[in-house]
Amino acid sequence: MIQIIITSVCASLFFNTIHNLHRKWRINFKPFSCGSCLASWVGIVLYFSPELILNIASVLFISGVVASITETLIYKIWN
């Protein structure tokens, strides 16, 4: 269950905060433009999806968010 929550939050951050895909794809309405709305809908979808899909999504979105945070921290440390 905690894996679903973390993956949902990371997917929402990945789509809304890091890449702004709702603006690039011109789908600027809820649930796509709202971080908490998108996280809750992704959580529902992941809850009913097979475990393999959950594991793939977890690796994809958690590593994307951690890479973005790490890149920002390293940039701030070196400059």
Element containing residue 21 per DSSP (H, E):
helix 21-24
In the chain, where the domains are located: 2-78
pLDDT of residue 26: 85
pTM (two decimals)? 0.81
Report the C-alpha gap between 76 and 79 in whole angstroms.
5
pLDDT of residue 30: 82
Residue type, 69: I
What is the mean pLDDT of each successive set of 10 residues along the chain, which is 79 residues long?
93 87 82 86 94 95 93 92
Report the C-alpha gap between 4 and 44 in whole angstroms.
9
